[in-house]
Chain A
Amino acid sequence: MSSVAVTAQTAGEGAAKVAAQRRAKRSRGSTNRRASWIVYALLGITLVVSIFPLYFTLLLGSSEPIAISQNPVPQWLPDLSLFTQFRTVIESTQINFWLALTNSLIIAVIVSAAVVLFSTLAGFSFAKLRFRGRGPLLVFVIATMAVPTQLGVIPMYILMSDLGWIGKLQAVIVPSLVAAFGVFWMTQYLSEALPYELIEAARVDGASMIRTFWSIALPAARPAAAMLGLFTFVQQWTNFFWPSIVLSSSNPTLPIVVKSLQANYFVDYSLVMGGVFLVTLPLLVIFAFVGKQLVAGIMQGAVKG
């Protein structure tokens, strides 16, 4: 780890990336022998276990409700009747599918952008600026990561209902705008990836602090900021606990749609499963494009409890 840190310090992100790649290449496998077929077979099983539950929703979505109640796997291949379920879910007035999709998107985008911006600002300050109380404040941030703030839901609900925000998106957005983890993550990254020389050079050229942040720190923080944004997005998109308390099925997010599917049609598992797949699909599509970055993020320590 320390060798990577020094490279990053002296040569910026490009060199760090190269070093990391080199490290990954060198260290792959306990020996240089190619993995045996047993390894591939076991990984194949893992992959099947990972994907089958999703495939299963397609199977049940394609089947008749009667068949589902008599057979664990009514058919082994999905068919076109799946689209009938999709259409029913999308067109149902009780489900509000498009509204839920838009709401989920709005919440996830705004929260991700805010978490990235505020975390990078604070991370820049903690990593590169000197000020009184810096040490204790940073310890405070780290300590709060272990605090289950979820358990403050009751006063939060009282607050939201006093503000008249129950049922509105801001009730979900505002409490999620900052994350202690994000501040910690950006502090870690910037203290390694942003050389002091760059900041100094900008200051010598007469740049104000905010200009230095905007033109020097923010571009340097881009790789870590992108990962933080991705993880926040996934977290918000799949979030259920707090949204289910303050939102209702008349103004839902996608996870709330899953709950109302079950409440409305709990007998018709064909429809329910079609809906479950439809709700999962957007994030699967996004995953196809950014999965690689998510993998890299987790392996670099973008760990979230």
Chain B
Amino acid sequence: MAVLTPQRSAPDSGAPQRESRRIGFSQRLGRWDVKLSPYLYISPFFILFAVTGLFPLGYTAFVSVHEWSLLGGQGDFVGLENFTFVLAQPTFWKALVNTLSIFVFSSVPQVVIAITIAALLDQNLRAATFWRMGVLIPYVVAPVAVSMIFGRLFADQYGLINAMLNTIGLDSIAWHGDRIASHVAIATMVNYRWMGYNALIFLAAMQAVPRDLYEAAVIDGAGRVRQFFSITVPQIRSTIIFVVITSTIGGLQIFDEVRLFDSIGLGGPDQNWMTTVVYMYDLAWGDQHSLGRASAVAWMLFILIVVIGLVNFLVTQRISSNAAVKKPKRKSTTGGNA
């Protein structure tokens, strides 16, 4: 740590001094180089982000207060009419409930499974890299492909999952008919793709836990299970929260899995598994061709995600300030700057 301090101050004093030894035109050029380069290097990000990220988000608000057709373009200013229309649609509320339901089914089991896998990977394994790569395979399968495959596994008739249920004496489940069952099926696809990925994040956190804690626990006579719940889980708490936050942001925007779960891709005949993003898509590019109404949905979903994100953030701050434990690299930086 001692070497850090002089290094930090070096460029402030060092670089300009050396510049000033040069003379004339090249000196002035050098000074401009030092002054402008930092801005020049960050400008591609900021310019492109402004055009492709910020502007569209802001403009969504503008579109949402106009009548705006996919084919006809901008129409009259209608105030909040698009919002009131959407809020009056039962489909909107159904899609919102579906989204939250799928989110709950995917986030909770996902964290539990991922931590379990991480705990297994954290053992003293032979061929550790092989196992780590193995659990990561689902990550490189595109969500659309996952959805197609699980669409077959969860087929209502002659699907493998139902066949297995039948073997152990249970009735078949109408995965494409029953509302909750379809949510479980879609959540399973999300879990399949992300469990190994999240397990590796947890594994990294587990390996950062000081080993002397475990040694102390062993001396105190704690078994493996007790060690896991009393040391591992509290120590990786901030990572758990981080994974929950990222999966919240992703989970509220589920689209691919729903689009491929049946051949029409709009959440089934009764919109039983339609999500809000799919509803937005359907308003804009489905039969209605209403970009205005779709923008209203986008804007409301945006606010919802930001609010949930903020709540998450505040809870995180609370919990991590209560726990005087070392936090993983990424967390501490985000917390420190934001």
Contact = CB atoms under 8 A, between A and B. Distances in A.
Interface of A: 1-2, 6, 9-10, 23-24, 26-35, 39-40, 42-43, 46-47, 49-51, 53-54, 56-57, 60, 68-73, 118-119, 121-122, 124-126, 128-131, 134-135, 137-139, 141-144, 146-159, 174-178, 180, 183, 188, 195-197, 199-200, 203-204, 208-210, 213, 234, 237-238, 240-241, 244-245, 254-255, 258-259, 261-263, 266, 269, 272-273, 276, 279-280, 283-284, 286-287, 291-292, 294-295, 298-301, 303-305
Contact of B144 (A142, A154, A255): A255
Nearest to A67: B158
A240 B148 contact: no
Interface in B283-303: 284-285, 291, 294-295, 298-299, 301-302
B250 A305 contact: yes
B160 A43 contact: no
Contacts of A263: 263
Contacts of B52: 149, 156, 174-178
Interface SS of chain B: helix, strand, loop or mixed? helix
Interface in B186-225: 192, 196-197, 200-201, 203-204, 207-208, 211, 214, 218, 224
Contacts of B329: 1, 188, 301
Q: Which of A27, A155, A237 has the most CB of B within 10 A?
A: A155
B115 interface: no
B328 A301 contact: yes
Nearest to B334: A142
B152 A269 contact: yes
B242 A303 contact: yes
A181 to B, nearest CB: 11
B11 A200 contact: yes
Interface SS of chain A: helix, strand, loop or mixed? helix
Contacts of A54: 137, 141, 149
Contact of A152 (B57, B141, B192): B57
Interface of B: 1, 3-4, 7-8, 10-12, 14-15, 18, 30, 33-35, 37-39, 41-42, 44-46, 48-49, 52-57, 59-60, 62-63, 117, 120-126, 128-129, 131-146, 148-150, 152-153, 155, 158-160, 162-163, 192, 196-197, 200-201, 203-204, 207-208, 211, 214, 218, 224, 227, 232, 242, 246-247, 249-250, 252-253, 255-256, 259-260, 263, 265, 277, 281, 284-285, 291, 294-295, 298-299, 301-302, 305-306, 309, 326, 328-330, 333-334, 337-338
Contacts of A208: 30, 33
Given A42-B120, A200-B10, A259-B259, A146 B309 contact: yes
B242 A196 contact: no
A159 B301 CA distance: 21
A280 B136 contact: no
A299 B143 contact: no
B163 A121 contact: no
B150 A34 contact: no
Contacts, number: 350
Given A72-B159, A129-B38, A259 B260 contact: yes
B12 A262 contact: no
A27 B135 contact: no
Nearest to B246: A305
21 contacts: A6-B1, A29-B122, A30-B232, A43-B135, A51-B134, A51-B137, A125-B39, A129-B38, A131-B35, A144-B49, A149-B57, A151-B57, A158-B63, A188-B333, A237-B142, A241-B256, A255-B142, A255-B256, A259-B265, A301-B204, A301-B330
A262 B263 contact: yes
